[in-house]
Amino acid sequence: MKKILTAIAVIALAACSGNQTFDPATVADATPEQVTRVEPLSWWVGMKMPLQLLVQGENISEYNVAIEGGAGVSVEKVNKADSPNFLFVDVKIAANAQPGTYYIVFSKDGASFKYPYEIEAREDGSAERESFTTADMIYLIMPDRFANGDPTNDSTDDTADKYARNELFGRHGGDIQGIINNLDYISELGATAIWCTPLLEDNQPQHSYHGYACTNYYKIDSRFGTNDLFKEYVDKAHEKDLKIIMDIVPNHAGSAHWWMEDTPFKDWYHVFDTYTGSNIAFSTNMDPNASKKDLYIQESGWFDRSMVDMNLDNPYVLNYFKQWAIWWIEWAGLDGFRVDTYPYNEKDPMADWCAAVMNEYPNFNIVGEVWTSSIPQLAYWQGDNENKDGFNSHLKSVMDFPLHDALRAGLNEDNGGWGMGMVRVYDILSHDFVYHDLSNMMIFPGNHDTDRLGDVLRKNPDRVKIAMAMMATMRGYPQIFAGDEQMFVSCDLGMGHGGLRVDFPGGWEGDEMNLFTAEGRANATKNTDGLSVPKGQAADLFDYVSHLFQWRKTKDVIHNGKTMHFLSRDNTYGYFRYDDDDVVFVYVNNSNEPKNIPWSYYSEISEGLKGGVDVVTGEPCEVSDDTVAAPQSVLIVEYKR
C-alpha cells in the first residue's frame, strides 16, 4: 500500500507545476551520469522566447519531471526523443516568477534526484539593446592568429588538436586574452565593432584553429579561454565603445560534437548512404525552374566531411539554435551576429530563426554570409525584400560579395575600358536599385576566406589606400580584416587559407616586430611574408586608415547620405556622398598616369560647392578642371552646403 501511494505521489509530482510544497534539501543531487547536461545553461524572467530544456542523462526518458523552487516556474510539457538518453522539457515562466535557483526534479519508482537551474533577472534595457549600423566599422579577427595573451592555454587537456605554431594549419596560440590586450590598437584604428571568427569549442582532431566546426555550442574553446573570460572581453570592449559581433554557425557542427555519439533524434542531422556534399547551388532557393532534388542537396548536403549538416526542419533542432543564440546575446551582452554559410541552411527554418532573435531584440542586427556574385540572388536573402515567391528571410544584413569582387578586380587592373578597372565598381553600384536596404550591406575588401588584399593588389600600398578610402566612404558599413590596414600578405600563396591567415607580428612573446605599437610600425622593414618593405610603410598605411575611419565616425553624410557617381572608362571613378547639409567628393585615379579631374562634368552636384577641405590633410582644397590627380591615388574632399 505504501508503494502504491508513493507511486501516486510521483505521478502527481510529474504532473504538477512548481507550486506544490517541496523541500529540495530532501532530494539528492543528480550525478553526472543521471544528468549529463541541461541546455540552455540558464534563462531569464521576462523573455519572449519560450524555454525548452534539452536534458541529457542515462535513460532520462524513463523519468517524470517537475520544477521546484518557487511560484511561477513550472513544467508545461515533457517531450521524448528517439534516444532514451534525452528529454525536451517545455518550461513555463510566468510574469510573476522571481529570479533565483530552481530545481529540476526527476522521479521514478519512488526515487528522485534534482538538478539546479538558474532563472535570472534581465539587465535593464536588455531587449532594447542597440546593434551595429552604418556608423560602425567592423574589425575582423581570427583569434588563433591575432595575439597570444595566455601561453598556458596553448594546448589543453580537454582538446585534441595541440599547439603547433610552425604548421600553417595548426593552432598558433592566439586567444581571447590576446584580443583584450590589444583593444586599444583596434580602437586607435577607428574600428567601432569587432567580429571574431568562432570562439566556441572546436574539438576536431586537426585544423581546428578556425573554429567553424563547433563541438559544444555553450562552451568557449579552452584554448581561447573560458566563458567567463569571453564575458569579460565583451565588457572590456564595451568600456572602449567597441561592439562585439559573434560569428555563429547553425548550418553545421563538427563531427566530433558530443551529440554525434548519441543524437537525440535520428534526423537530428542529414544522413546519406554515402558522403554527400552540398552542391552550393544557392539559386535553387529562388529559381522557378529548379528541381526539388537539387534544392535538397543544396541545403542538406554537408559543407565538409568533418562538418555535419544540421537538420533545421526538425523543430527541436531549430528551437535548440534559437535558444542558443538568444542565450549568448543575453548572457554575454552581445551586440550582433554574423551567420556563417547562411544560404546552406534550410531557408524557411532560418527565416523563423531570424524572426525569433529579432522578436526578442528588435534593434539587433544579423549579417549573413551569402557568398554569391549574383546581385539579384544576394538581394533575395535580405529581409523584407519583395521576392516574387513571397519569401522573407527576416535577415537584416547581407555581405556584399559582388562589390568585394569588383573592387579587388578593378583595382588590380592598370587599364580602364568597357567593363574594366573602376568601371567594375560603377557597374556594381548601378544595380543598387535591386536591394531593399542599402544601409544594411556589409562592404569589405577582404576577409579570412579570400586572398589577402595586399597579395591581390600586388603589394602596392597606394592601391591599398584606395581600397581603404572607398571602404570609408561608400554606402553600407565597412569591415576590415586584421592586418589589411598594414598590407599584410600571405606567408605562402600556394597554401590557401593556412597561408593567408598569418600571425599578427607582436602578438607573441619574442616576435621580431611588434606591429601593434607605433614604434614597431615605424621601424618595421619586413612584411608578414618576410619580404623587405620600405621602413615606415606599415606606419604610413596604419595612420592613413586610422585617420579615415576616425573621421568617418561622426559623418552622418557617409552613414546615411545618398550616392551620385559618374561613369568614365579611363580607370578613374568619381562619386559623391551627399545630404541636405554635407557633400563628400571622392575621386579615384587607378590608372598609371596623372588625370585631370573633370569637375565641370560633375556640375549637377559640384556646381556651387566651395570651401572644400581635404579629408586626409585637413587643408583647404578647391577642386576644378585643372586639378590633377596623381597616378594610383584617391582624393576625398568634404563640403558644407
Quick one: which H or E segment has residue 188?
A: helix 183-189
What is d(CA 179, CA 11) in angstroms, rounded to the nearest whole number? 52
What is d(CA 368, CA 358) in angstroms, rounded to the nearest whole number? 14
- B/e letters for 591-617, b = 16+ CB within 10 Å, e = fewer, are beeebebbbeebeeebeebeebeebbe
Q: Which amino acid is at 186?
A: I
- Asked if 502 and 488 count as a contact pair (C-beta separation under 8 A), the reply is yes
- Asked if 200 and 214 count as a contact pair (C-beta separation under 8 A), the reply is yes
What is d(CA 64, CA 113) in angstroms, rounded to the nearest whole number? 11
Nine-digit cell string for 333 = 551582452
* CA end-to-end distance (rounded Å), the chain: 92
3-state secondary structure (DSSP) of residue 316: helix
The helix-helix angle for 401-411 and 461-473 (nearest 10°) equals: 150
192 DSSP assignment = -
- Beta-strand (E) ranges in 417-503? 441-443, 477-481
- Asked if 78 and 65 count as a contact pair (C-beta separation under 8 A), the reply is yes
Quick one: which H or E segment has residue 141?
A: strand 138-141
Helices (H) and strands (E) in the chain, counts: 17, 28
Evaluate the omega torsion of the peptide bond into residue 40 and state whether it is cis, within 30 degrees of 0. Answer: yes
What backbone phi and psi angles, to 5 degrees, belong to 494?
-80, -5
Cite the active site residues: 340, 369
Q: Who's near 535: CB < 8 A, 6+ residues apart? A: 522, 523, 524, 525
How much is the CA Rg of the chain, to the nearest whole Å? 27
What backbone phi and psi angles, to 5 degrees, belong to 639?
-130, 155
